[in-house]
């Protein structure tokens, strides 16, 4: 596939917007300081292509009036912190053409990453103050179908907020009024400093406080970071998902009376499988990193349509021998017990811990840094799981029909990354994208499926 870029421009809010410095919360500026890629594919629109492009751009300028922080830029301040400069410099909009038809991409899962269809940022040579927070690429195919590459700063927003913007842009593009404006005041998560409270409790499950384990006999994870990796997409039909759920809930008494969810069972299954195929020592410590949305876990809940990052990272821990020898229900309960710890006090403890840090940069994952300077490593002997199951990313209609397919937009993953997506073969089917070392991937696929069928 060859993609030709024809035009890139900056799209700015269509009306004057507030200008100034917007404080970011600690939850905004720990983790990835880069952009998250998502791609959408659509069939041929009913209108001519020039009209489609003009409609997309015009509706974008209108939507940015309410979502004006996305038209700004990040700025570095003291102590490794960042803030958002609302200067209306705009978002990058790129127009391109591809020399293939959509049908040439098959079912998309066989062609799971689409670097040429996504915008890109040269992080090493572009100052953060000059980097757009949102970059878009609209690519037309020979058949008239098109794709939207959506590339958004993870410092500016998390998945829920990114998709809030995307759905509102689509709504405006359809000719409808804005549905739900964003809640932009991040002080609700006590942005800024000095700290208001000092937390002295047990914070061992804060991902920022507990670096993931390294392999027994190694002094660092540097060797594991250097290993060649590959990504595979695994399909779980509704039947296979139900078998996993039955295995997780079999003979396992739940105090809450609630059956384990698809997320809990699949995550536990992947963790056990990784321990098996990596041939870890029985006493090898292993962790799984989990991301949790806190919007509805706080009391009171965060304001409706809070716009920013409202996720915390947690870790569940165990030993390889414990996980492999125990039931799927036991491992699923480890996942659930970790998630259930997240409440108002827990979130505030994370924020207070981060506020008390002299320098936040050590908790940030920068692509422009060398591997041994990057953030926590959830590769061998660990896993890091992200779920898109609850994100409102499906059914995005800009006026010419809902998407044919949506998924991750690029192969920017490292060993241990595990992403759970909705499947296409039934409402409860799943797709799991996993990145592992090349030497482990075939064993993982074989054991992942075989062990579902085992009694």
Residue-level pLDDT at 418: 94
C-alpha torsion 339→345→348→352, nearest 10: -110
For residues 256 and 140, give the distance between their C-alpha atoms in angstroms, rounded to a whole number.
50
Mean pLDDT of 62-90: 95
% residues pLDDT > 90 (the chain): 75
Residue-level pLDDT at 374: 56
**pLDDT tens for each residue of 202-219:** 555 566 567 889 999 999
Residue-level pLDDT at 205: 53
Mean pLDDT of 79-102: 95
> Which of 87-101, 296-310, 347-361 comes out lowest in average pLDDT?
347-361
Residue-level pLDDT at 253: 67
Residue-level pLDDT at 369: 38
Instruction: Catalogue the long-range contacts made by 118-123 (C-beta closer than 8 Å, 24 or more residues apart).
Output: 118/37, 118/39, 118/149, 118/151, 118/409, 118/410, 119/92, 119/94, 119/149, 119/151, 120/151, 121/34, 121/35, 121/151, 123/34, 123/366, 123/367, 123/368
397 is catalytic: yes
Residue 188 neighbours by CB under 8 Å, 6+ apart: 302, 303, 306
**pLDDT tens for each residue of 325-375:** 999 999 999 999 999 999 999 999 889 888 888 888 777 764 433 333 456
- Give the pairing type, strands 229-236 and 146-153: unpaired
Active-site residue identified among 185, 252, 366, 397 = 397
For residues 428 and 389, give the distance between their C-alpha atoms in angstroms, rounded to a whole number.
10
Domains of the chain from N-terminus onward: 3-189 (3.30.559.10), 222-453 (3.30.559.10)
Q: Which helix (H) or strand (E) holds 136?
A: strand 134-140
Residue 124 neighbours by CB under 8 Å, 6+ apart: 368
Helix (H, G, I), strand (E, B) or coil at 245: helix
**pLDDT tens for each residue of 229-257:** 999 999 999 999 999 999 999 877 666 67
**pLDDT tens for each residue of 388-444:** 999 999 999 999 999 999 999 876 789 999 999 998 888 899 999 999 999 999 999
Place 377 in a pLDDT band, splitting at 50, 70 and 90. confident
**pLDDT tens for each residue of 105-135:** 988 877 777 889 999 999 989 999 999 999 9
Residue-level pLDDT at 455: 60
Residue-level pLDDT at 164: 98
Q: What is the DSSP letter of 349?
A: H
Q: Which helix (H) or strand (E) holds 270?
A: helix 262-277
Strand order in the sheet with 91-98: 3-11, 91-98, 134-140, 146-153, 35-42, 405-408
**Geometric angle at alpha carbon 198, from 192 and 203, rounded to 5°:** 105
154 is catalytic: yes
Residue-level pLDDT at 406: 93
Active-site residue identified among 154, 206, 269, 440 = 154
Mean pLDDT of 47-76: 97
Instruction: Catalogue the long-range contacts made by 46-49 (C-beta closer than 8 Å, 24 or more residues apart).
Output: 46/400, 47/400, 49/140, 49/144
Residue-level pLDDT at 372: 39
pLDDT of 379 over the 60 cut: yes
Helix (H, G, I), strand (E, B) or coil at 151: strand
């Amino acid at each position: 596939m060859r993609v030709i870029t024809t035009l890139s421009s900056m799209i700015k809010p269509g009306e004057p917007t507030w200008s100034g410095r917007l404080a970011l919360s600690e939850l905004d500026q720990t983790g990835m300081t880069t952009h998250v890629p998502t791609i959408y594919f659509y069939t041929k629109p009913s209108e001519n292509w020039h009209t489609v492009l003009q409609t997309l751009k015009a509706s974008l300028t209108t939507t940015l009036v309410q979502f004006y922080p996305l038209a700004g830029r990040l700025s570095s301040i003291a102590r490794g912190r960042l803030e958002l400069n609302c200067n209306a410099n705009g978002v990058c909009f790129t127009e391109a053409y591809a020399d293939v038809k959509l049908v040439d991409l098959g079912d998309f899962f066989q062609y799971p990453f689409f670097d040429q269809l996504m915008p890109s940022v040269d992080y090493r040579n572009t100052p953060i103050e000059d980097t757009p927070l949102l970059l878009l690429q609209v690519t037309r195919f020979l058949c008239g179908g098109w794709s939207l590459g959506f590339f958004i700063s993870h410092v500016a927003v998390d998945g829920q907020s990114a998709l809030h913007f995307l759905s509102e842009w689509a709504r405006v593009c359809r000719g409808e009024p804005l549905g739900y404006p964003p809640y932009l005041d991040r002080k609700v998560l006590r942005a800024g400093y000095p700290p208001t409270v000092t937390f002295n409790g047990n914070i061992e499950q804060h991902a920022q406080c507990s670096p993931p384990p390294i392999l027994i006999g190694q002094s660092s994870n540097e060797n594991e970071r250097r290993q060649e990796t590959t990504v595979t997409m695994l399909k779980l039909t509704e039947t296979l998902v139900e078998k996993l759920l039955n295995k997780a809930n079999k003979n396992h008494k739940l105090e809450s009376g609630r059956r384990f969810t698809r997320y809990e069972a699949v995550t536990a299954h992947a963790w056990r499988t990784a321990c098996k195929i990596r041939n870890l020592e029985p006493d090898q410590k292993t962790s799984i990193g989990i991301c949790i949305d806190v919007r509805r876990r706080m009391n009171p809940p965060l304001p409706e349509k809070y716009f920013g990052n409202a996720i915390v990272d947690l870790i569940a821990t165990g030993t390889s021998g414990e996980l492999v020898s125990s039931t799927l229900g036991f491992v699923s309960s480890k996942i659930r017990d970790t998630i259930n710890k997240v409440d108002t006090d827990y979130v505030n403890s994370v924020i207070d811990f981060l506020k008390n840090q002299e320098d936040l940069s050590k908790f940030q994952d920068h692509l422009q840094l060398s591997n041994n300077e990057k953030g926590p490593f959830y590769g061998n002997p660990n896993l890091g799981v992200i779920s898109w199951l609850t994100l409102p990313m499906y059914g995005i209609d800009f006026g010419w029909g809902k998407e044919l397919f949506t998924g991750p937009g690029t192969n920017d993953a490292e060993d241990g990354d595990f992403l759970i997506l909705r499947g296409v073969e039934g409402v409860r089917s799943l797709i799991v994208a996993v990145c592992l070392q090349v030497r482990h991937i075939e064993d993982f696929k074989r054991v992942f499926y075989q062990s579902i069928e085992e009694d």
